[in-house]
Amino acid sequence: MDIDYKNEIKRLKQELPVTVVGHYYQRDEVFDMADITGDSLELARKCKADKNPWVVFCGVGFMGQSVKVIAPHKRVIMPKMACCAMAKMIDGVTFDQSVDFMVKAGIKKENILPITYINSDVSVKSKVGEMGGLVCTSSNAFKIIEKGLESGKKILFVPDRCLGQNFANSMELKSCIIGDNQDPNNCDVICYDGFCSVHQLFTVEDIEFYREKYPNILIAVHPECDPKIVEKADFSGSTSMLIKYVNELDINQKVAVGTEYNLVNRMREKNTFVLSSTKPECPTMNETTLEDLYLALKSIEDNNPINEIAIDEHTTKWANIALERMLDIK
Protein backbone atom coordinates (compact mmCIF):
# COMPACT_ATOMS: atom_id res chain seq x y z
CA MET A 1 0.00 0.00 0.00
CA ASP A 2 1.30 3.49 -0.91
CA ILE A 3 2.21 5.72 2.01
CA ASP A 4 0.43 9.08 2.22
CA TYR A 5 3.60 11.04 3.07
CA LYS A 6 1.87 14.30 3.91
CA ASN A 7 -0.52 12.75 6.41
CA GLU A 8 2.16 10.53 7.91
CA ILE A 9 4.50 13.53 8.35
CA LYS A 10 1.67 15.46 10.06
CA ARG A 11 0.97 12.52 12.37
CA LEU A 12 4.65 12.06 13.28
CA LYS A 13 5.06 15.79 13.96
CA GLN A 14 2.12 15.65 16.36
CA GLU A 15 3.31 12.56 18.17
CA LEU A 16 7.04 13.30 18.46
CA PRO A 17 8.89 16.12 20.32
CA VAL A 18 10.34 17.32 17.01
CA THR A 19 10.63 20.55 15.05
CA VAL A 20 10.87 20.39 11.27
CA VAL A 21 13.01 23.19 9.85
CA GLY A 22 13.07 24.26 6.19
CA HIS A 23 15.25 26.75 4.32
CA TYR A 24 13.55 28.90 1.65
CA TYR A 25 15.26 26.97 -1.16
CA GLN A 26 13.55 23.69 -0.29
CA ARG A 27 11.03 22.14 -2.68
CA ASP A 28 7.53 23.55 -2.06
CA GLU A 29 6.05 20.30 -0.76
CA VAL A 30 8.87 19.94 1.81
CA PHE A 31 8.86 23.66 2.72
CA ASP A 32 5.10 23.45 3.44
CA MET A 33 5.74 20.81 6.11
CA ALA A 34 8.25 22.93 8.05
CA ASP A 35 7.42 24.41 11.48
CA ILE A 36 10.28 26.89 11.21
CA THR A 37 11.28 28.56 7.95
CA GLY A 38 13.67 31.38 7.11
CA ASP A 39 17.06 32.42 5.81
CA SER A 40 20.17 30.92 7.35
CA LEU A 41 20.49 33.55 10.11
CA GLU A 42 16.81 33.33 11.09
CA LEU A 43 16.97 29.54 11.15
CA ALA A 44 20.01 29.57 13.46
CA ARG A 45 18.31 32.02 15.86
CA LYS A 46 14.88 30.31 15.78
CA CYS A 47 16.34 26.81 16.28
CA LYS A 48 18.35 28.02 19.28
CA ALA A 49 15.17 29.39 20.89
CA ASP A 50 13.05 26.33 20.04
CA LYS A 51 12.17 23.96 22.88
CA ASN A 52 11.86 20.55 21.16
CA PRO A 53 14.78 18.15 21.76
CA TRP A 54 14.70 16.88 18.15
CA VAL A 55 15.34 18.91 14.99
CA VAL A 56 14.78 17.53 11.50
CA PHE A 57 16.61 19.98 9.25
CA CYS A 58 15.56 20.24 5.59
CA GLY A 59 18.43 22.16 4.06
CA VAL A 60 22.13 21.62 3.52
CA GLY A 61 24.76 20.15 5.83
CA PHE A 62 26.30 23.34 7.21
CA MET A 63 22.87 24.52 8.39
CA GLY A 64 22.20 21.35 10.39
CA GLN A 65 25.76 21.52 11.79
CA SER A 66 25.19 25.12 12.92
CA VAL A 67 22.11 24.09 14.93
CA LYS A 68 24.06 21.26 16.56
CA VAL A 69 26.87 23.68 17.46
CA ILE A 70 24.69 26.40 18.99
CA ALA A 71 22.39 23.90 20.73
CA PRO A 72 24.60 20.82 21.38
CA HIS A 73 21.96 19.23 23.66
CA LYS A 74 19.59 18.87 20.69
CA ARG A 75 19.50 15.79 18.44
CA VAL A 76 19.74 17.05 14.86
CA ILE A 77 19.03 14.82 11.90
CA MET A 78 18.88 15.60 8.19
CA PRO A 79 16.50 13.84 5.76
CA LYS A 80 19.36 14.10 3.22
CA MET A 81 23.01 14.77 4.00
CA ALA A 82 23.08 17.34 1.19
CA CYS A 83 26.24 19.43 1.03
CA CYS A 84 26.28 23.01 -0.30
CA ALA A 85 28.74 23.07 -3.21
CA MET A 86 30.31 26.33 -2.01
CA ALA A 87 30.84 25.00 1.52
CA LYS A 88 32.72 22.06 -0.04
CA MET A 89 35.23 24.41 -1.68
CA ILE A 90 37.13 25.02 1.56
CA ASP A 91 38.30 22.74 4.38
CA GLY A 92 40.70 23.03 7.31
CA VAL A 93 43.74 22.50 5.06
CA THR A 94 42.84 25.14 2.45
CA PHE A 95 41.85 27.52 5.24
CA ASP A 96 45.32 27.13 6.79
CA GLN A 97 46.89 27.65 3.35
CA SER A 98 44.97 30.93 3.00
CA VAL A 99 46.33 32.14 6.34
CA ASP A 100 49.85 31.04 5.25
CA PHE A 101 49.46 33.01 2.02
CA MET A 102 48.83 36.19 4.01
CA VAL A 103 51.64 35.44 6.47
CA LYS A 104 54.09 34.85 3.59
CA ALA A 105 53.07 38.24 2.20
CA GLY A 106 54.29 39.78 5.47
CA ILE A 107 51.04 40.06 7.44
CA LYS A 108 51.43 38.74 11.00
CA LYS A 109 48.97 35.98 11.97
CA GLU A 110 47.77 38.04 14.95
CA ASN A 111 46.87 40.83 12.51
CA ILE A 112 44.48 38.62 10.53
CA LEU A 113 40.79 38.47 11.44
CA PRO A 114 39.07 35.57 9.67
CA ILE A 115 35.37 35.84 8.88
CA THR A 116 33.63 32.79 7.47
CA TYR A 117 30.33 32.86 5.65
CA ILE A 118 27.92 30.49 7.41
CA ASN A 119 28.05 28.40 4.19
CA SER A 120 31.15 26.52 5.38
CA ASP A 121 31.92 23.28 7.16
CA VAL A 122 31.99 23.26 10.96
CA SER A 123 35.75 22.48 10.86
CA VAL A 124 36.38 25.81 9.11
CA LYS A 125 34.16 27.68 11.60
CA SER A 126 36.13 26.08 14.40
CA LYS A 127 39.49 27.24 12.97
CA VAL A 128 38.04 30.72 12.51
CA GLY A 129 36.86 30.74 16.13
CA GLU A 130 40.30 29.67 17.37
CA MET A 131 41.89 32.59 15.51
CA GLY A 132 39.53 35.08 17.18
CA GLY A 133 37.24 35.35 14.13
CA LEU A 134 33.54 34.97 13.58
CA VAL A 135 30.77 33.83 11.25
CA CYS A 136 28.48 35.95 9.07
CA THR A 137 25.47 35.32 6.86
CA SER A 138 24.27 37.24 3.82
CA SER A 139 21.88 39.25 6.00
CA ASN A 140 24.43 40.49 8.54
CA ALA A 141 27.73 40.52 6.58
CA PHE A 142 27.83 44.34 6.46
CA LYS A 143 27.54 44.65 10.25
CA ILE A 144 30.01 41.82 10.88
CA ILE A 145 32.67 43.22 8.53
CA GLU A 146 32.14 46.70 10.00
CA LYS A 147 32.66 45.26 13.48
CA GLY A 148 35.68 43.26 12.28
CA LEU A 149 37.33 46.39 10.92
CA GLU A 150 37.23 47.96 14.39
CA SER A 151 40.00 45.50 15.31
CA GLY A 152 42.32 47.24 12.83
CA LYS A 153 43.20 43.83 11.35
CA LYS A 154 43.15 42.58 7.76
CA ILE A 155 40.03 40.55 7.07
CA LEU A 156 40.38 37.08 5.58
CA PHE A 157 36.93 36.35 4.13
CA VAL A 158 36.04 32.71 3.30
CA PRO A 159 34.76 30.94 1.27
CA ASP A 160 32.57 33.16 -0.98
CA ARG A 161 34.61 35.63 -3.03
CA CYS A 162 31.44 37.29 -4.34
CA LEU A 163 29.93 37.99 -0.93
CA GLY A 164 33.29 39.26 0.33
CA GLN A 165 33.81 41.55 -2.67
CA ASN A 166 30.21 42.78 -2.76
CA PHE A 167 30.25 43.88 0.88
CA ALA A 168 33.75 45.35 0.55
CA ASN A 169 32.51 47.37 -2.47
CA SER A 170 29.42 48.60 -0.61
CA MET A 171 31.69 49.79 2.22
CA GLU A 172 34.21 51.33 -0.17
CA LEU A 173 36.92 48.94 1.02
CA LYS A 174 39.64 47.49 -1.16
CA SER A 175 39.35 43.74 -1.73
CA CYS A 176 41.28 41.06 -3.59
CA ILE A 177 40.99 37.33 -4.20
CA ILE A 178 43.71 34.89 -3.20
CA GLY A 179 45.38 33.90 -6.47
CA ASP A 180 44.58 37.08 -8.41
CA ASN A 181 48.19 38.34 -8.03
CA GLN A 182 47.26 41.39 -5.96
CA ASP A 183 49.30 42.21 -2.87
CA PRO A 184 47.13 41.51 0.20
CA ASN A 185 49.01 44.27 2.04
CA ASN A 186 47.16 46.77 -0.14
CA CYS A 187 43.71 45.29 0.59
CA ASP A 188 41.32 45.50 3.55
CA VAL A 189 39.40 42.30 2.71
CA ILE A 190 41.23 39.28 1.29
CA CYS A 191 38.76 36.78 -0.16
CA TYR A 192 39.10 33.04 -0.64
CA ASP A 193 38.27 31.98 -4.21
CA GLY A 194 34.98 30.14 -3.52
CA PHE A 195 31.61 30.78 -5.15
CA CYS A 196 28.06 29.50 -5.56
CA SER A 197 27.52 27.93 -8.98
CA VAL A 198 23.77 28.59 -8.79
CA HIS A 199 24.21 32.33 -8.28
CA GLN A 200 26.87 32.48 -11.02
CA LEU A 201 24.11 31.67 -13.52
CA PHE A 202 22.84 35.26 -13.52
CA THR A 203 24.51 37.40 -16.18
CA VAL A 204 24.72 41.04 -17.22
CA GLU A 205 22.93 39.95 -20.42
CA ASP A 206 19.99 38.67 -18.32
CA ILE A 207 19.70 42.11 -16.70
CA GLU A 208 19.94 43.87 -20.08
CA PHE A 209 17.33 41.52 -21.55
CA TYR A 210 14.77 42.34 -18.85
CA ARG A 211 15.53 46.07 -18.84
CA GLU A 212 15.04 46.21 -22.59
CA LYS A 213 11.83 44.19 -22.46
CA TYR A 214 10.32 46.09 -19.48
CA PRO A 215 12.03 49.51 -19.13
CA ASN A 216 10.77 50.11 -15.56
CA ILE A 217 11.54 46.66 -14.20
CA LEU A 218 13.51 46.39 -10.95
CA ILE A 219 16.32 43.87 -10.51
CA ALA A 220 16.81 42.26 -7.08
CA VAL A 221 19.63 39.78 -6.45
CA HIS A 222 21.32 37.74 -3.71
CA PRO A 223 24.84 38.95 -2.76
CA GLU A 224 26.28 35.57 -3.80
CA CYS A 225 25.92 36.87 -7.37
CA ASP A 226 29.00 38.21 -9.14
CA PRO A 227 29.90 41.84 -8.24
CA LYS A 228 29.15 42.84 -11.88
CA ILE A 229 25.54 41.73 -11.31
CA VAL A 230 25.15 43.28 -7.85
CA GLU A 231 26.53 46.58 -9.14
CA LYS A 232 23.89 46.72 -11.88
CA ALA A 233 20.98 45.56 -9.66
CA ASP A 234 18.50 47.87 -7.92
CA PHE A 235 18.61 45.82 -4.73
CA SER A 236 20.75 43.10 -3.19
CA GLY A 237 19.96 41.13 -0.04
CA SER A 238 19.66 37.78 1.69
CA THR A 239 16.76 35.46 0.92
CA SER A 240 14.56 37.05 3.64
CA MET A 241 15.48 40.53 2.50
CA LEU A 242 14.55 39.66 -1.09
CA ILE A 243 11.15 38.38 0.04
CA LYS A 244 10.49 41.58 2.03
CA TYR A 245 11.65 43.77 -0.87
CA VAL A 246 9.35 42.07 -3.38
CA ASN A 247 6.38 41.97 -0.98
CA GLU A 248 6.60 45.69 -0.35
CA LEU A 249 6.52 46.59 -4.06
CA ASP A 250 3.35 47.86 -5.71
CA ILE A 251 1.65 44.86 -7.33
CA ASN A 252 2.02 46.48 -10.77
CA GLN A 253 5.77 46.93 -10.34
CA LYS A 254 7.66 44.30 -12.33
CA VAL A 255 10.69 42.73 -10.68
CA ALA A 256 13.23 40.12 -11.82
CA VAL A 257 14.87 38.23 -8.97
CA GLY A 258 18.31 36.61 -9.05
CA THR A 259 18.28 33.78 -6.56
CA GLU A 260 17.27 30.11 -6.27
CA TYR A 261 14.26 29.03 -8.31
CA ASN A 262 12.07 27.52 -5.56
CA LEU A 263 12.12 30.79 -3.62
CA VAL A 264 11.41 33.05 -6.60
CA ASN A 265 8.64 30.75 -7.77
CA ARG A 266 7.00 31.05 -4.33
CA MET A 267 7.06 34.86 -4.37
CA ARG A 268 3.99 36.89 -5.43
CA GLU A 269 2.63 35.45 -8.69
CA LYS A 270 2.11 38.64 -10.63
CA ASN A 271 4.96 40.64 -12.19
CA THR A 272 7.76 38.55 -10.65
CA PHE A 273 10.34 36.96 -12.95
CA VAL A 274 13.31 34.63 -12.55
CA LEU A 275 16.41 36.57 -13.66
CA SER A 276 17.80 33.79 -15.84
CA SER A 277 17.16 31.95 -19.07
CA THR A 278 18.13 28.70 -17.32
CA LYS A 279 16.32 27.43 -14.22
CA PRO A 280 18.53 28.41 -11.23
CA GLU A 281 17.90 25.36 -9.04
CA CYS A 282 20.26 24.47 -6.22
CA PRO A 283 20.90 20.75 -6.80
CA THR A 284 21.70 20.01 -3.17
CA MET A 285 18.80 21.99 -1.68
CA ASN A 286 16.52 20.10 -4.06
CA GLU A 287 17.76 16.68 -2.96
CA THR A 288 15.37 16.45 0.00
CA THR A 289 12.01 14.93 -0.90
CA LEU A 290 8.79 14.41 1.04
CA GLU A 291 9.69 10.71 1.28
CA ASP A 292 13.09 11.60 2.83
CA LEU A 293 11.39 13.83 5.39
CA TYR A 294 8.93 11.05 6.25
CA LEU A 295 11.77 8.50 6.62
CA ALA A 296 13.73 10.86 8.89
CA LEU A 297 10.73 11.38 11.19
CA LYS A 298 9.90 7.67 11.11
CA SER A 299 13.48 6.85 12.14
CA ILE A 300 12.96 8.89 15.32
CA GLU A 301 9.69 7.05 16.02
CA ASP A 302 11.47 3.73 15.46
CA ASN A 303 14.29 4.71 17.83
CA ASN A 304 16.84 4.33 15.06
CA PRO A 305 17.63 7.90 13.91
CA ILE A 306 19.25 8.30 10.49
CA ASN A 307 21.77 10.93 9.36
CA GLU A 308 22.29 12.31 12.83
CA ILE A 309 24.80 15.17 13.11
CA ALA A 310 27.69 14.45 15.48
CA ILE A 311 30.56 16.89 16.02
CA ASP A 312 33.54 16.37 18.32
CA GLU A 313 33.94 18.49 21.45
CA HIS A 314 36.92 20.60 20.32
CA THR A 315 35.32 21.50 16.98
CA THR A 316 31.99 22.27 18.68
CA LYS A 317 33.65 24.51 21.26
CA TRP A 318 35.43 26.79 18.75
CA ALA A 319 32.71 26.77 16.10
CA ASN A 320 30.27 27.70 18.85
CA ILE A 321 32.45 30.65 19.85
CA ALA A 322 32.60 31.82 16.20
CA LEU A 323 28.80 31.49 15.79
CA GLU A 324 27.98 33.10 19.14
CA ARG A 325 30.24 36.07 18.33
CA MET A 326 27.98 36.57 15.31
CA LEU A 327 24.70 36.02 17.20
CA ASP A 328 25.79 38.55 19.85
CA ILE A 329 25.98 41.29 17.23
CA LYS A 330 22.41 42.57 16.92
Residues near ligand 13P (CB under 6 A): 39-40, 119, 137-138, 196, 222, 224, 238-239
Distances (CA, A) of 126 to 85, 101, 314, 320: 19, 19, 8, 8
Distances (CA, A) of 43 to 59, 92, 140: 10, 25, 14
Residues 184-223 that bind ligand SF4 (CB under 6 A): 196, 198
| Strand runs labelled E in the chain | 18-23, 36-38, 54-58, 75-77, 112-117, 134-136, 154-158, 175-177, 189-191, 218-221, 235-236, 255-258, 272-274
Q: Is 21 near ligand SF4 (CB under 6 A)?
A: no
**Measured from the CB atom, is 184 or 240 closer to ligand 13P?**
240
Residue 41 CB, shortest distance to ligand SF4, in Å, is 14
175 interface partner picked from ligand 13P, ligand SF4, none, CB below 5 to 8 A per type: none
Q: Which amino acid is at 63?
A: M
Phi-psi region of 202 (alpha: psi -120 to 50; beta: other; left: phi over 0): beta
284 interface partner picked from ligand 13P, ligand SF4, none, CB below 5 to 8 A per type: ligand SF4
256 with 231: CB under 8 angstroms? no
Of the candidates 289, 320, 284, 328, the one whose C-alpha atom is nearest the C-alpha of residue 82 is 284
Residue 62 CB, shortest distance to ligand 13P, in Å, is 9
**Measured from the CB atom, is 8 or 224 closer to ligand 13P?**
224
Give the Cα separation of 47 and 109 in Å (integer).
34
**Measured from the CB atom, is 26 or 271 closer to ligand SF4?**
26
Question: Phi, psi (5° rounding) for residue 131?
Answer: -90, 10
Residue 123 CB, shortest distance to ligand SF4, in Å, is 17
Residue 54 CB, shortest distance to ligand SF4, in Å, is 23
Residue 125 CB, shortest distance to ligand 13P, in Å, is 15
Of the candidates 150, 194, 190, 143, the one whose C-alpha atom is nearest the C-alpha of residue 171 is 143
- Residue 225: Cβ within 10 Å count: 27
Give the Cα separation of 325 and 135 in Å (integer).
7
Residues 35-94 that bind ligand SF4 (CB under 6 A): 60, 84-86
**Measured from the CB atom, is 166 or 271 closer to ligand SF4?**
166
Q: Which residue is nearest to ligand 13P (CB)?
A: 39
Q: ω into residue 280 within 30 of 0, thus cis?
A: no
Residue 131 CB, shortest distance to ligand 13P, in Å, is 23
Residue 8 CB, shortest distance to ligand SF4, in Å, is 27
Residues 223-282 that bind ligand SF4 (CB under 6 A): 224, 260, 282
**Measured from the CB atom, is 201 or 218 closer to ligand 13P?**
201
85 interface partner picked from ligand 13P, ligand SF4, none, CB below 5 to 8 A per type: ligand SF4
Question: Phi, psi (5° rounding) for residue 165?
Answer: -70, -40
Phi-psi region of 38 (alpha: psi -120 to 50; beta: other; left: phi over 0): left
**Measured from the CB atom, is 8 or 42 closer to ligand 13P?**
42
**Measured from the CB atom, is 187 or 323 closer to ligand 13P?**
323
Residue 1 CB, shortest distance to ligand SF4, in Å, is 36
> From the list 284, 288, 307, 320, which residue makes contact with ligand SF4 (rule: CB under 6 A)?
284
